[in-house]
Amino acid sequence: MSSGNNTDSGNNSSGAATIDWKRVASPNPLEQVEDSLEWVAEQEAQRKAKEEAKKKAKEDAQKRAKFQAWWQAKSERKVREKAEAKVATEAMRVHIVQNAAQGVKPKPKQCQAASKGRARPKETEDEEKSDEGEEGTDGRSDEDAEGEDTDE
């Protein structure tokens, strides 16, 4: 016997302890294909995940940009409206001062209904004021008199 590394010694002639080195050195081709398919599937899943993340980040950036543009436009509009209100207020003050300098008295404020476009004609208001003091000739209101007519 030549060396001690020989696994095929005379004591183990049954072959139970022998190793088939050809089988160990070259793995099963089906396992290799399955492993490579798994690796490709993992790579594809990672690539898709990266693409989805990029797509979502891009959409989020677009939404953020749109919201920022809307917010800025809203802020600019508010500033512009505030400036216009200041200009209008100042113009009104100047107008009042000019009228006061000319001796024109300011007009009294109208009631809220008139400011909403529901003002009543002056004749109607005058008629109602004169009617309030007068009741029927017998001291009863018109409503009482109308109620009597229906009973008869």
Cα–Cα distance, 2 to 9 (Å, whole number): 10
Residues 75-80: contacts with CB under 8 Å, at least 24 apart: none
> Does the pLDDT value for residue 90 go beyond 90?
yes
Q: How far apart are the C-alpha atoms of 34 and 40, rounded to whole Å?
A: 10
Instruction: Please give the torsion angle defined by the CA atoms of residues 30, 35, 36 and 39, in that order, rounded to the nearest 10 degrees.
Output: 160
pLDDT computed for residue 58 by the predictor:
97
Query: What's the DSSP call for residue 2?
Result: -
Report whether 106 contacts 96 (CB < 8 A).
yes
Region of residue 135 (left: phi > 0; alpha: psi -120 to 50; beta: else): beta
Task: Inform me whether the pLDDT recorded for 100 exceeds 70.
Answer: yes
CB distance 1 to 9 below 8 Å: yes
Cα–Cα nearest to 93, from 75, 83, 106: 106
Task: Name the pTM for this structure.
Answer: 0.39
pLDDT above 70 covers what percent of the chain? 57
Which one-letter DSSP state was computed for residue 22?
A: H
Position 132 scores a pLDDT of: 54
Residue 152 has what pLDDT? 45
Specify the length of the chain in residues. Answer: 152
Q: What is the pLDDT of residues 42-89, one digit of tens each?
A: 999 999 999 999 999 999 999 999 999 999 999 999 999 999 999 999
